[in-house]
Structure 1
């Protein structure tokens, strides 16, 4: 019997339904440790492909007899080979079509909030931990921090009977290629980003620093541009209807944005201090913080949403309880990882419109996890 292939979309849907999954990842150990498929119902083990070349029985004692097994590799070839071995042994096995390369391009949308005036969706690029947002009011929509696969957002807006009129990036992204300029061009929307982020950009944009409010729709949906430098000098957060803080990479559920990517860790950490203790201090504890990234599945709630109240984050984040500017700066600058996002210099050049990769190059540049946070639990 031929081995069954499982598409990445089918895998996403299984995770959404809460199905238990047993994943056998056959990539090298270092690749697996760096980046793998995760989820609350996922059990994952790593046995590199070359071990099966030496011994086809190498996995037998670690595999379940009754549960479906999904084999995973980088692009789908090695996992197919291992799946055929296991199929011959009588296991019920699927090979993930396209491997981690395909998985890196899967998106999932979750409704965060709905009332008579608007709907707010969180879009999760699951393999990257990248989050973006669609805000719908009437027949108009805005997108914040879109990934480069723009068709997903257009389809989502169409599903909700809306057309995208506004596209915003909270900052110049370093770990993935922004879909902002392209999505705005495709839909005729206005593209917003802070001027400081894209000096000399090769595209048209509306400077966020000139916008106090962005109104759209049949009602007054207030999207207040709030300068929140620290992760980058021009980072901007959005307060939606005084209830939701779309915080970009400034503030995460379990950490703060890392300030070292521009080579100015201390200087940007001081900016981050002013953001945390001055710019955000007036926001109520019940404000729901919705970031642009997450680093751990524990940051996701039972509804599949990555977010937390500002009060919870203030209570649980040690850096936000560090009142002295000097102490805070030392804590943040000292903890900033030297492990920069892969290819971040090339990706930021692309996001400034200075380079245009083809699809294959864009996919290769983005493979791997995001590394945009500094974590300070407890």
Structure 2
């Protein structure tokens, strides 16, 4: 078998390494490698790349027969040490293996993007692969809007520059709890106007959104943005409707579930609000409207050239909860409540503008997957 990792740089001990961004480009394609996570069980349970096979490093000599010999193998750990040892050992017994450089820490910082055209405008979905976070640039002419940016604001500035856009307006769909928002930073760096829903308790200057407000793009584009408040996941949860063709649902509706009302406490009250929001503000949109959410779970398969999204018609068929009467929906959602992770409280405080920490400390808070869906 040809050595498909032969052109990749060697890390410690000369073992080939694959970067997190290179790995992201292979996932969901015919070239997808076998993913072997060699961390301990509790680490994998807390956070893992979708599709991994778990064999702890200490068990690998006894279980190496579970690793295929007919396809490349990428070994994974927290930071790259154990995965390098695993890849070295596997290569000694004839397995074509490479280590994920930087481990899960590097995976948490990987972005890729996919674009689609709607009504004369261009929508770019930015995927933060290790977090399952989705954000968006919507541009036409020489301007663009950014919705739900992560803290790595360079991603959006670089994409806008490639398209010849000036970022004029920045939005968040809600007060995020699972990751750090880059909306305020991006607005400051680009001179854009920051728009937020005042129903969430932000403690810094912004332009308050009003229900039904519209934001037009230049260049004759027919695609526009409308803010529609959808209380439920948080009190200020907001949708952005792009014409009648695309709806950016934030954490109100996902491709594999609905928002978790317990993340803002008062679970039963918020579940009732969420049901009404879904029925009255989302599900009355055209059946072919494309739902583009702010997150996706580990169960969602991501493909390089295909946005994470689904039409309302597809979601009606896929998600039983969308057809439940209000009381049944509330009982269903309340039964799935879990305590908010402690780091989520501090992330919320940081996103509110109440908590000031060094950036390394902030990024440590958001390590791991999102858990915003019910």
TM value normalised by structure 2: 0.91
Q: Tell me the residue number matched to 2:88.
A: 84
Q: Deviations over 1:232-268 (max 9, x none)?
A: 1110001002211100000111211011122200111
Q: Tell me the residue number matched to 2:215.
A: 214
The alignment status of 1:352 with 2:352, answered yes or no, reads: yes
The alignment status of 1:30 with 2:42, answered yes or no, reads: yes
Q: Deviations over 1:115-134 (max 9, x none)?
A: 5x210111111111111111
Q: Tell me the residue number matched to 1:68.
A: 72
Q: CA deviation at 1:184?
A: 0.8
Q: Tell me the residue number matched to 2:56.
A: 48
Work out the CA distance in 1 between the residues paired with 2:304 and 2:28.
11
Q: Tell me the residue number matched to 1:368.
A: 368
Question: Do the aligned partners of 1:315 and 1:321 also contact (CA within 8 Å) in 2?
Answer: no
Distance 1:72 1:120, change over 3 A: same
Q: CA deviation at 1:300?
A: 4.9
Identify unmatched segments of 5+ residues in structure 2.
1-12
Q: CA deviation at 1:14?
A: 2.1
SS across alignment from 2:210:
helix
Q: Tell me the residue number matched to 1:109.
A: 113
TM value normalised by structure 1: 0.90
SS across alignment from 2:317:
helix
Q: Tell me the residue number matched to 1:10.
A: 22
The alignment status of 1:137 with 2:149, answered yes or no, reads: no
Match of 1:270 among 269, 272, 284: 272
Q: Tell me the residue number matched to 2:282.
A: 280
Match of 2:168 among 161, 165, 168: 165
Q: Tell me the residue number matched to 1:234.
A: 236
Work out the CA distance in 2 between the residues paired with 1:183 and 1:162.
14
Q: Deviations over 1:48-98 (max 9, x none)?
A: 13335xxxx224211222322111100111111222222333332211111
The alignment status of 1:316 with 2:328, answered yes or no, reads: no
Q: Deviations over 1:166-210 (max 9, x none)?
A: 1100000000001111111111111111112134x1x32111126
Query: Cα RMSD (Å) of the superposition?
Result: 2.0
Moved more, 219-228 or 327-336: 327-336
Aligned residues: 361
Q: CA deviation at 1:287?
A: 1.0
Work out the CA distance in 2 between the residues paired with 1:60 and 1:275.
51
SS across alignment from 1:326:
helix
Work out the CA distance in 2 between the residues paired with 1:335 and 1:370.
15
Identify unmatched segments of 5+ residues in structure 1.
none
The alignment status of 1:340 with 2:340, answered yes or no, reads: yes
Q: CA deviation at 1:272?
A: 0.9
Work out the CA distance in 1 between the residues paired with 2:191 and 2:201.
20
Work out the CA distance in 2 between the residues paired with 1:342 and 1:303.
36
Distance 1:263 1:59, change over 3 A: same
Q: CA deviation at 1:299?
A: 6.0
